[in-house]
Amino acid sequence: MKLTRRIFVQLVGSAAFIASSPLLKAQGLSVKRLPLPCSPSQGKWIGTTCQGCTQYCAIEIFNQNGRATRVRGNQNSKGNHGFCCPRGHLIPQENYDPDRIKQPLKRTNPQKGRGVDPKWVPISWDEALDIVADKMIELRNSGEPERLLYLKGRYGNTSHGLLYGTLTKVYGSPNNFSTSALCAETEKMGPGYTQGLFSYRDYDLGNTKCVVFWGTDPFSSNRQVPNVISKLGVLQKNGTLITVDPRLSTAAAKSKEWLPILPGTDGALANAIAHVLLTEGLWHKEFVGDFENGKNLFVSGKTVDPALFKENNTLGLVTYWNEEAKDWTPERAAKECRLDAEQIKRVARTLGKAAPNVIVWMGPGVCMNPRGTYTAMVVHALNGILGSVDNVGGTHDPAKSLKDSYPSADKYVDELAKSHGKGKKIDGRGDKEMPAAMKAKLGSGVVTNNIANYMLSHPDFVKIMISSWTNTPFAAADGKRWEKALANVPFFVHMVPFPSEMTQFADIVLPSTFNAAEGMGTVTGFGSMQCTRGLQYSSRPATESGMLNRKRMKLHGSWLRSWLRKDGRLC
């Protein structure tokens, strides 16, 4: 008899059925396999931080004879409750991967391009650092420090605080950039422009009555995976789970309501939810404010005199209504989003009933599209209308207690650095072509892909490029433009743990630390600060809470207007 895959599966299944037969068990013929006896493992758990995502969970690594063998969440952590997701468990495999770059490499083939063999030769650290330092000093002595470009990707404190911040400042180049526009910039700009919080958010899941997972699936990926999974039972018992996502994600499968929205129409849905909240008087009046006579004047399609509404902790709610929300009925949004109008109403009423103990958890799926900043603003603004910002069971600023761990480098900045370091950045932020770029006061506002565009249009500008933990030819849209731009850079230093598509263009490759191997990266990670002190949430009324008492929640219509693409679809 020829053994085929089908026959093999049938034989295995039959054997498993026979082994589990009650008759055989009764006769003692089915023996349960017992674990082999072993002694307790000898080693030490060492606390550090996982950098697999932007939560930076506090973790512990089991050290046996100087080698990392196991990973678990920090047992004192109130952020991950002693657990970590698969990214943390993969740290030993990553750390000891045979393909890791273990010593500096020098390019010997001057030709650069996709698929061109760099003909690496290994060199010592002293030689590699001397080459890089000599090139940098030569460029600075020529009076052109602005022609040094530094680009950071995933980062810890060394790459962010020292290279991105201190090095470029002391050197005198304004051209220090992150790749965050490829992943999180627009997500941060939403709360940045409305709440004044240019950052990720944390959430009081233990006390919430309703959570909307909007364009995110924290049961599976960035951020707070262990925390969300551990809170699932509490969430389902005490509150309502809602998911807005085109795909049936893990979050959607666990939710009471799933809105399979048409990608790129999130702004329409958010406006429609706001429309229902306002017309039915479901906004959180203690936080937002109310009409002076107590009568709800938000009537579909009709404008409201701003003088008749007294706001407490928001700014521009009536303007937002007049310019945008008044016309976004659930019926109109349903056609745009390909959803059911009655479901939109039902979801909005659920949110209003749960306010202010409600979370609108906005993820990158909301805004990773053209004009995504505006969409992020209107979605996050729902937290303001519902009064959940910085409140019990709502959204929170995870970085309030975090401070930069490095001292100021101002005394090392000479006149050359001062005069050249304040020049215009080559990513074009603030130009007429980039009007949505955020002021540096609230966030970086980087336009990552425009860096490559500038390098292609000005091929002689960048003389030295240093980049850490990046792979833009792979991660960026139309990565070929980065390949062409990198091929023109006279001297490129790539700092990475593993070779990549970007590495093939480098002149010097420096092995970098990563993840938990970078000890200094643990200093100010969000999750790494949530160990023994735990998550401290405010129990004060929303009108007295933190950020919004100092800086009002901006709901101005001109900022939250839904913008149209040329084909008429919302983005």
What mean pLDDT do residues 319-336 have? 96
Give the residue from 189, 188, 185, 197 showing the smallest Cα distance to 551: 197
What pLDDT digit, counting tens, does each position of 202-247 carry?
A: 888 889 999 999 999 999 887 788 888 888 888 888 899 999 999 9
Q: What percent of the chain has pLDDT over 70?
A: 80
Query: Residue 181 pLDDT more than 90?
Result: no
Q: How confident is the model at residue 524 (pLDDT cuts 50, 70, 90)?
A: low
What mean pLDDT do residues 176-185 have? 85
Q: Where are the CATH 3.40.50.740 domain residues in the chain?
A: 105-184+409-506
pLDDT, residue 430, reads: 73
Whose structure tokens read 């839904």?
562
Q: How confident is the model at residue 432 (pLDDT cuts 50, 70, 90)?
A: confident
Q: Where are the CATH 3.40.228.10 domain residues in the chain?
A: 201-397
pLDDT, residue 32, reads: 60
CA 108 to chain centre: 38
What mean pLDDT do residues 359-384 have? 90
Mean predicted lDDT score pLDDT of the chain:
83
Rounded to whole angstroms, the Cα distance separating 144 from 173 reads 9
Give the residue from 448, 399, 407, 408 showing the smallest Cα distance to 152: 448
Q: Where are the CATH 2.20.25.90 domain residues in the chain?
A: 43-98+518-537
What mean pLDDT do residues 461-483 have? 94
Q: Measured between alpha carbons, how far is residue 502 from residues 53, 136, 452 in Å?
A: 21, 21, 13
Pick the range with the lowest mean pLDDT from 75-89, 177-191, 522-536, 549-563. 549-563
Answer yes or no: are the C-beta atoms of 499 and 381 closer than 8 Å.
no
More confident position, 161 or 306: 306
Q: What percent of the chain has pLDDT over 90?
A: 51
pLDDT, residue 536, reads: 33
> Which residues have C-beta within 8 Å of that of residue 362, sequence separation ≥ 6?
187, 190, 191, 201, 214, 215, 216, 376, 379, 380
What pLDDT digit, counting tens, does each position of 32-45 carry?
A: 667 677 667 789 99
Architecture of domain 105-184+409-506: 3-Layer(aba) Sandwich (3.40)
Amino acid at 63: N
Pick the range with the lowest mean pLDDT from 152-156, 223-227, 326-330, 377-381. 152-156
The two beta strands, 202-203 and 210-214, are unpaired
What mean pLDDT do residues 247-267 have? 95
pLDDT, residue 44, reads: 93
The domain 43-98+518-537: what is its CATH number?
A: 2.20.25.90
> Which residues have C-beta within 8 Å of that of residue 5, sequence separation ≥ 6?
none
Q: How confident is the model at residue 559 (pLDDT cuts 50, 70, 90)?
A: very low
The domain 201-397: what is its CATH number?
A: 3.40.228.10
More confident position, 447 or 124: 124
Which tokens sit at 307?
A: 């003088």
Give the residue from 524, 454, 429 showing the smallest Cα distance to 199: 524
More confident position, 97 or 564: 97
Count CB neighbours of 225 within 10 A. 24
Radius of gyration of the chain measured on its C-alpha atoms: 27
pLDDT, residue 51, reads: 80
> Which residues have C-beta within 8 Å of that of residue 496, sequence separation ≥ 6?
101, 468, 469, 470, 471, 502, 503, 509, 511, 512
Query: Residue 556 pLDDT more than 50?
Result: no
Q: How confident is the model at residue 390 (pLDDT cuts 50, 70, 90)?
A: confident
pLDDT, residue 24, reads: 43
pLDDT, residue 437, reads: 58
Rounded to whole angstroms, the Cα distance separating 222 from 33 reads 38
> Which residues have C-beta within 8 Å of that of residue 506, sequence separation ≥ 6?
105, 107, 118, 492, 493, 494
Q: How confident is the model at residue 541 (pLDDT cuts 50, 70, 90)?
A: very low
What pLDDT digit, counting tens, does each position of 43-63 carry?
A: 999 888 888 887 888 889 999
Pick the range with the lowest mean pLDDT from 4-13, 140-149, 246-255. 4-13
More confident position, 212 or 197: 212
pLDDT, residue 436, reads: 53
Query: Residue 481 pLDDT more than 60?
Result: yes
